[in-house]
Structure 1
């Protein structure tokens, strides 16, 4: 007795499922410059590593016990390997009912999130559809409406605090699909072929009278700097490369250490350019990214959210092969001051590093929270306090390299000054409650108003303050632990990272403050 007949039937049904939405729908999908769902999975994962679950699930029509038609579910999931490491992947098939939930098998999406949580594996979502209720035709078919429930959302929320979650927006993604993209540690869009919105153009036109195309409403020109998406790329293959790189810095779950690689870069490398990279003229900006490249392992920097909160640069890099997160100020963007956007960016990034035990290097040139009427209207102080709270609540090792300015509440909040978070300052350091230039006019307002020559008095006061503001005087008073030669930054950080990773095992596990999207 053999079960070969049943296995043969199983294989035939799998072949039906592999046809996705049919040849016509698949070709229409590809004509828009998009890969189909199975091509995406194949290109992203290591070769021949995808193990699919529920492949033959779908909508079947029977007549007199005979199968007359079959439409596969428009959501695929399973496990595979990414650079040798096991992951869970869930992907929408736009060729079947446009990726909408009423063309799916809801249990498959739930199982993918549950699998990632229970097996403690990273999860990758390839999102290409609404993922919500789909068409209102559902009401006519079913004969009743329903109270909305976000499927698997309990696991979606839990996973944010347990495993790395990556989401790629690979088409016109609306409603719950858009929420699945945003509910991640790292999200990405593709130029020209991806759009993201709460509701699509037709609903927006009907609801609020805005007649917009998909690109105008939710294309990359909208979301490059909206904060809804982290990175934007030019192709799906580039998106897959970003996914691989992002995950390479993180452990598979919060119970493991970040993966350390063998570095070919000299840990004692001293870049001569660092001694002169900061201008003596404090009003002159400089480029921060070349500085980061001179300090971290070569070709190891992965920036996130470049165009959102641009005054703050965030991302991952390596020190002697060890993954680290970094914060840095970009003086070319609003002087590097803390805006609402940069505060949100800091809060989210620090929370992510803390969740996955990635030590943080903070390169500080912080003039403080932005000021003015618009900043007050936007509640900048509250956002700033939230960012500072994230830094103070973080238990992961953190080190501060003061490049230039540290002023006010914002500057003070860039490091937990009450903990043993090491600080090094470059000789270009300049700090205080207020910048001297503006602070003199506030502190000596009455004297300046009473003076016959206020400009001369202002210049005299500024000259007197110039010597007092020397960072060497601060070091004499032990207000800063150590002023270093900028060229020594990499060797010192590589020594610090050894200590940081030696201490990390005692911090493994989930945090009481679970990360939110």
Structure 2
């Protein structure tokens, strides 16, 4: 009997038929259903993520064993998820993709096993994992097995955190456990308008609280992109989401034992940036966009901003200097004068901790009059949230460079990575003002008696304000105390950053033994 006859008979024929059924492309009804809703199929999404559309599927045969509702007798195909691994820009990556057309991609025991095995494989191999999420939550028919499945996914995702980068792409309605499992990852990309995330849907909310809400009001891209800050990026198509995830991974190492990849750089580190002087207004109370300064000094002006529409008074994102990844944190004086509020504080703190986890040097651009005052800020926990920034910077062991652009007052001095919380290098522009507070407030306190005794109190107050400004609102006193390492020409910033990053690239400091720190969450 020839090999061809063998392949066409018995066990081989059964195998090929069963394997063929697992390929969504061989099910035109499902493909049409997905495309009619403006979505790609689970397999098309995997193909769009990986180089040349190629990936190796894992665990395609796992099935549920639920006897309730005779579920085990039904053809539940891929159990609502496809798992596998491939390459992104020639680097290995694991991924899983929900198939929402199989019982709403609800998670039962089998799906939980498939996703957990994928996370475990990523941890063993030391490679990133990307979740393509479009799921309705736990599978009700499987009861506690579904609950345990999600519980296990939560556990594995948390264990993987800080070891391998984890990205979630929200490609549909993710409810309950699907929302939590995504929120546990490092970065979330949501596709507008199909992406949604919430714990309980509108119907449940209506029955419990009587509120009428839409899916978009509850958990659409506008909500999570600008109100809750849960989502780091909002895009308008699935293809854009895949491209963004691929680009994001180029800034990151495969795991926390590696350094981020270094790319060939054609932008000279000696390039001057004379435009910085013109970007900074002469009037210290006038706002400007710090992103202009950031783009002027990074390679080719390429800056990948994160959480762009959330807490817009704080800027975070990735860039490169001399081909090496850096994490950028900066105040944005044109929004709330650059003050740090509750949202800005935890936004920055979480990003700093991510960069520290994955060996990404931090560059901080400071222009901040302090924490935002007010009852609402105090009641919503500005002390707790503000301390997260202090903790995150203090704990970080990666190279830390701070650039004081203008104001660096009071608590902002510490929050924006001052020397005392471990900045390796603090550079200041001649426009820098490092002080306990601004001149107006300080003069009222320091020169209180002189002002009260004066015949013309207002004139004396103006005189004392100018005296304080001349004496203290500059970078020179801080430089004399050694808490500023150098005062530089703004146009030379790119070269200075590149040189300091190079000397610090092998930074190694001692830390006391501990199981883990206790950040004020």
Common fold, TM-score beyond 0.5?
yes
Aligned to 2:50: 45
2-structure distance, mates of 1:147, 1:201: 25
Match status 1:265 vs 2:293: no
The equivalences for 1:415-434 within 5 A come to: 415-418=417-420, 419=422, 421-434=424-437
Equivalents in 2 of 1:173, 1:338: separation in Å? 31
1:498 is aligned to 2:502: yes
Structure 2 counterparts to residues 227-246 of structure 1, below 5 A:
227-246=229-248
Q: Which residue of 2 aligns with 1:397?
A: 399
Partner residue in 2 for 1:439: 442
> Given the superposition, is the C-alpha separation of residues 476 and 118 from structure 1 closer, same or farther in structure 2, using an over 3 Å criterion?
closer
Deviations 1:343-400 (A, max 9, x none): 1011100110110010101111121111122221112022111211110011111001
Q: Distance in 1 between matches of 2:274 and 2:157?
A: 47
Question: Secondary structure of 1:391's match?
Answer: helix
Q: Measure how far apart 1:317 and its partner are.
A: 0.5
CA contact (8 A) 1:245 1:302 kept: no
Q: Which residue in the other structure is 1:480 paired with?
A: 484
Does structure 1 conserve the Cα–Cα contact (< 8 Å) formed by 2:417 and 2:423?
no
Alignment of 1:154-193 (within 5 A): 154-193=155-194
Q: Find the counterpart in structure 2 of residue 322 from structure 1.
A: 324
- Give the C-alpha shift of residue 165 in structure 1: 0.3
- 1:240/1:172 Cα in 2 relative to 1: closer, same or farther (>3 Å)? same
Rate the CA distance shift 1:230–1:48 in 2: closer, same or farther, 3 A: closer
Q: Does 1:276 align with 2:278?
A: yes
SS of alignment partner, residue 502 of structure 1: coil
CA contact (8 A) 1:322 1:497 kept: no
Deviation track 1:101-123 (CA, whole Å, cap 9, x = no partner) reads 14953311111111111111100
Q: Which residue of 2 aligns with 1:454?
A: 457
Q: SS of the residue aligned with 2:348? A: helix
Q: What do residues 19-76 of structure 1 show as CA deviations (whole Å, max 9, x unaligned)? A: 38954444233222111111111111001530001224346999xxxx9856332111
Change (3 A) 1:293 1:367: same
Deviation at 1:247, TM superposition (A): 1.0
Structure 2 equivalent of residue 247 of structure 1: 249
1:77 aligns with 2:80: no
Q: 1:95 aligns with which of 95, 98, 101?
A: 101
Greater displacement, 481-490 / 20-29: 20-29
CA distance in 2, matches of 1:466, 1:297: 36
Q: Is the 8 A contact 1:192 1:219 kept in 2?
A: yes
What residue number does 2:367 align with? 365
**Number of equivalenced pairs:** 506
Does 2:201 correspond to 1:197? Answer: no
The match for 1:379 is 381
Task: Name 2:474's counterpart in structure 1.
Answer: 470
Q: 1:453 deviation in Å?
A: 2.2
The answer to whether structure 1 residue 18 and structure 2 residue 23 are counterparts is yes
Q: RMSD between aligned alpha carbons? A: 2.9
In the TM superposition, residue 514 of structure 1 has moved relative to its aligned partner by 10
Q: Which residue of the partner structure matches residue 338 of structure 2?
A: 336
Structure 1: distance between partners of 2:104 and 2:26: 9
Answer yes or no: is the 8 Å Cα contact 2:402–2:418 preserved in 1: no
1:274-303 per-residue CA deviation (whole Å, 9 max, x = no partner) reads 223211111111111121111000143111
| 2:37 corresponds to which of 27, 32, 45 | 32
2:60 is equivalent to residue 55 of structure 1: yes
Q: Answer whether contact 1:61 1:68 (CA < 8 A) is retained.
A: no
Aligned partners of 2:81 and 2:99 also within 8 Å: yes
Q: Distance in 1 between matches of 2:29 and 2:209?
A: 35
- Where relative contact order (Cα < 8 A, 6+ residues apart) is larger, the structure is 1
**Aligned partners of 1:411, 1:358: CA distance in 2, in Å?**
22
User: Is the alpha carbon distance of 1:473 and 1:512 closer, same or farther for their aligned partners in structure 2, counting shifts above 3 Å?
Assistant: closer
The answer on whether the counterparts of 1:189 and 1:231 sit within 8 Å (CA) in structure 2 is yes
Give the 3-state SS of the residue equivalent to 1:91 in structure 2: strand
Q: Structure 2 matches for 1:2-17, cutoff 5 A?
A: 4=7, 5-17=10-22
Once the two structures are superposed, what CA deviation does each residue of 1:438-471 show, in whole Å capped at 9, x if it has no partner?
Answer: 2212334454455442211111112222321333
Change (3 A) 1:439 1:61: closer
Corresponding residue to 2:308 among 267, 282, 306: 306
Instruction: Name the counterpart of 2:70.
Output: none
**Distance change >3 Å, CA 479–CA 358, structure 1 → 2:** closer
The answer on whether the counterparts of 1:13 and 1:56 sit within 8 Å (CA) in structure 2 is no
Aligned to 2:117: 111
Residue deviations 1:407-460 (CA, integer Å, cap 9, x gap): 112222322524461111001101211111222123344544554422111111
> Using the alignment, how far apart are the partners of 1:146 and 1:480 within structure 2?
54
Point out the more displaced range, 294-303 or 95-104.
Answer: 95-104
